[in-house]
Amino acid sequence: MPLKTEKEPLNVVDIASSDEEGGAKTVATKKVSSITAQPTPLQISGLETSQGSEAIMPPLLPFNETLESRSFWKAGNYAVGPTSKPALLQGSLEHARVHPKFLHSNATSHKWAFGAIAELMDNAVDEIHHGATFIKVDKIDVMKDNSPGPALLFQDDGGGMDPELIRKCMSLGYSSKKSNTTIGQYGNGFKTSTMRLGADVIVFSRSTSASKATQSVGLLSYTFLCRTGQDDVIVPMIDFDISGHWAEPIIYSSQDDWSSNLKTILEWSPFSSKEELMLQFDDIGPHGTKIVIYNLWLNDEGIYELAFDDDDEDIRLRDEALHGATKLHKKTVELQSHISYRIRYSLRAYASILYLRKFNNFEIILKGKPVQQFNIADELKYPKVVTYKPQVAAGPKEWSVATTIGFIKEAPSLGVSGFNVYHKNRLIRPFWKVTSDGSSKGNGVVGVLEADFIEPAHDKQDFERSSLFVRLETRLKQMVYDYWKSHCHLVGYQPPGMHAANMKKQSSAYQHNSSSNLQAESDEQSIRIPANGEQDLRNEQPGLEVPNEVMSKDDVGSISIDQLCEENILLFRRCEEHKQKEAELKQTIVELEKELEDMRNKCAQLSSHLEAKRKLKVI
């Protein structure tokens, strides 16, 4: 049944920001009738007017004057058309307004499209305590003239949103998630993530509470705001009471307002009729939410950022995916097939490690196939659990973080390393490398930990740079070095200090042999060198790598760029090791030369002593 409205209207005044930063102006807006037992409509949540009045709509601007490009990073540049505003009403209340450009600038916090997709997955995961059992992520085709091409679908069977909650969801900065288990907390994720993936999003949500059931439709359309030259964020919404046998519109101010919202939704969404809108609720069930993002952004080459057709079971990030690479080096192929590399371009790979603990009764369904969750800690070689107790100043809770560390199963052939750091079960930094580049220490060492004691950044792709974060980085670096020192020999690496010990033993043996030779042949002080002038370094210097094969000119000509890059990295690492060994050898040579000089002096003294004795005998 439609809700009753009060007779006395509430006059509302907008405070509109100008196009230039820091500028502001105050204008009057239309009357909005207050309601009983339902959410108060906001400017951001509908096109409300007083009874008998018509919605104020600025003139339609040509598309090429509003959006410079379908590329996300250029979409913030558009012209704002002239708008007509009613006069200021006496005794009106004021409220802050948000310019549509803020939707775009707000979404730039997501540098990575998969980070935006993860935000929408988080919303479904947070609904597990409301009974959610799945989140579907898929591509659908929309065929309407103003939005041709693919659209991105997100659907879950959580608790859904009633009219009040959906308005809070599509408002800016509101969040009801304040528990220690939910991932979202800033009330900004829905807006930033949807606007990062596409220019427009339509939301369908059905909710059941007590004896009342409702369903709502909301449209957040950057295209609509740009094409109509709006200087305020307007989100048309319609609600239905479905407690009875049929869906009955919920009227807040007037039937004309409700019809105006419906008309705007049908004009700017992929659905051209009210019946088509209602069909979208058929597969939602008694409760749940469906999100359709359309007018997806293009990359700089004018093609969609997301690739839907490269893999029937995956959605890929086009700029990061491989395109027809051939004749790759074996190690390059192994590296690109590792999970640490595939998460850059494969949504299925990224979703598989996105949550630390495996779900009991919840699935991520990507293009019709469930994602198999994966924790790299489960397949580490020689795993070890290290406990870290950070010193958190505030709060009575004492933190204890268990870090699982070990070698990847491909070690030592692959040099993948780093820590997967989670926060409240959600991956924030994948394969975070804390050791310096160019050093062989830590190659193949991977760790997994959950760091709830530090706060993630707004895009949940990094942590806030606090003193706790710096101390964590220092501790993780020490973990790597300690583990490497005690375990590297298990996968074929030479433990630190082993080479110096071998050199010391060889030096002692050489001193012993030199002393014996000097006593036996005092007139011959020489170091024997093989006839060919080359020392067998492999036999004399344990741990020193000498290549067994040398590439011919023909082999070099057939090597690909990727293979050369991989070989260059390996050669750089080997060069660093040889430089260190060369320095050690030079130091050993200096010591040996000093010992040899001492022996020569001693030999000269002995010769003088023997010559003196001979002279005495002659006399």
pLDDT value at position 37? 38
Is it the case that residue 66 has pLDDT exceeding 60?
no
Q: What is the pLDDT of residues 10-39, one digit of tens each?
A: 333 333 333 333 333 333 333 333 333 344
CA dist 154 and 75 (Å) reads: 23
pLDDT value at position 532? 39
Of the pLDDT bands very low, low, confident and very high (cuts 50, 70, 90), residue 566 is: low
Average pLDDT, the chain: 76
Q: Which residues contact residue 131 at a Cβ distance below 8 angstroms, ignoring those fewer than 6 apart?
A: 157, 158, 159, 287
Contacts of 305-309 spanning 24+ positions with Cβ under 8 A: 305/72, 305/113, 306/113, 306/150, 306/152, 306/197, 308/139, 308/150
Of the pLDDT bands very low, low, confident and very high (cuts 50, 70, 90), residue 316 is: very high
pLDDT value at position 327? 61
Is it the case that residue 370 has pLDDT exceeding 80?
yes
The highest-level CATH class for domain 375-491 is alpha beta
14 C-beta neighbours (distance < 10 Å), count: 20
CA dist 402 and 390 (Å) reads: 11
Is it the case that residue 388 has pLDDT exceeding 90?
yes
pLDDT value at position 58? 47
Is it the case that residue 553 has pLDDT exceeding 60?
no
- CA 356 to chain centroid, in Å, comes to 14
Instruction: Give the closest residue to 75 by CA, choosing from 106, 115, 46.
Output: 106
Task: Name the more confident of 253 and 396.
Answer: 253
The phi and psi torsions of 163 (rounded to 5 degrees) equal: -55, -35
Is it the case that residue 183 has pLDDT exceeding 60?
no
- Mean pLDDT throughout 306-333? 79
Q: What DSSP state is assigned to residue 127?
A: G
**Predicted TM-score of the model (pTM):** 0.70
Task: Name the more confident of 424 and 332.
Answer: 424
- Mean pLDDT throughout 355-375? 97
- Mean pLDDT throughout 286-291? 96
pLDDT value at position 21? 36
pLDDT value at position 504? 53
CA dist 241 and 1 (Å) reads: 7
Task: Name the more confident of 512 and 119.
Answer: 119
Q: Which residues contact residue 222 at a Cβ distance below 8 angstroms, ignoring those fewer than 6 apart?
A: 75, 100, 103, 104, 195, 199, 200, 295
pLDDT value at position 512? 52
Of the pLDDT bands very low, low, confident and very high (cuts 50, 70, 90), residue 555 is: very low
Task: Name the more confident of 264 and 95.
Answer: 264
Residue with tokens 């489960």: 378
- Mean pLDDT throughout 524-537? 37
What whole-number percentage of the chain has pLDDT above 70?
Answer: 67
For 182, the token pair is 């939910």
For 520, the token pair is 């036996």
- Mean pLDDT throughout 62-78? 56
The one-letter amino acid at 377 = A
The DSSP H or E segment spanning 510 is helix 498-520
- Mean pLDDT throughout 190-218? 92
Is it the case that residue 401 has pLDDT exceeding 70?
yes
CA dist 524 and 528 (Å) reads: 11
Contacts of 520-525 spanning 24+ positions with Cβ under 8 A: 522/603, 522/606, 522/607, 525/596, 525/599, 525/600, 525/603
For 147, the token pair is 């939005």
- Mean pLDDT throughout 41-57? 41
Q: What is the pLDDT of residues 467-498, one digit of tens each?
A: 999 999 999 999 999 999 999 999 988 887 66
- CA 385 to chain centroid, in Å, comes to 25
Length of the chain: 619
Is it the case that residue 366 has pLDDT exceeding 90?
yes
Contact (CB, 8 A) for 109 and 459: yes
The phi and psi torsions of 413 (rounded to 5 degrees) equal: -65, -30
Span of 462-471, 518-527, 569-578 with lowest mean pLDDT: 518-527
